[in-house]
Amino acid sequence: MNLRAGSVSVGWGLFCACSWTWCIGMFMPIILLRDFGWPGFLVFAVPNVLGCAAFGYVLRDAGRRTELIRRHERAAVLFSATTIAYHVFFMTFLATMIARDAPQATLIAVALPAGIYLAGYACSWMPQRAWPAAAALLYAGSIAVFTGVGTATLSATPWSGP
């Protein structure tokens, strides 16, 4: 295998991992861990990881990807719009939790999601070849944060929930 092609594949794998781990991909599993313990997390995570990996096999060449887009473009656009709307809602929800006791709570609850949305929109103009490197940086930052926070909470999570 070409070393450059391998690093690009890893970069796109990190991109997929980073793009998946947001609202539903991370917040929902935390709720499932809290309420049902590790089995709740695994019931959610295993099918999602297998489904994501299967996508690489289903869309293994440009012809298949092109055909999928051609046949389902409208559904893909509607799915993307729905996902963006859900993320804006979720960011607003988190912002209200963060700013709950702040003097300017309403301003924060509106400005934070709007700022994140605008940053995401600006990033959407990045050239496609830049995304694997950006994902690698984001992933490294996530690992640094995870290392700093530690695993005490995860170690204390029981195998059965309340």
- Reported as a single tens digit per residue, the pLDDT across 72-90 is 999 989 988 888 888 888 8
SS (H, E, C) the chain: CCHHHHHHHHHHHHHHHHHHCCHHHHHHHHHHHHHHHHHHHHHHHHHHHHHHHHHHHHCCCHHHHHHHHHHHHHHHHHHHHHHHHHHHHHHHHHHHHHCCCCCCHHHHHHHHHHHHHHHHHHHCCCCHHHHHHHHHHHHHHHHHHHHHHCCHHHHCCCCCCC
Give me the mean pLDDT over the 46-51 stretch.
Answer: 86
pLDDT at 120 over 90: no
In this prediction, residue 154 has a pLDDT band, given cuts at 50, 70 and 90, of confident
Domain ranges of the chain: 3-155
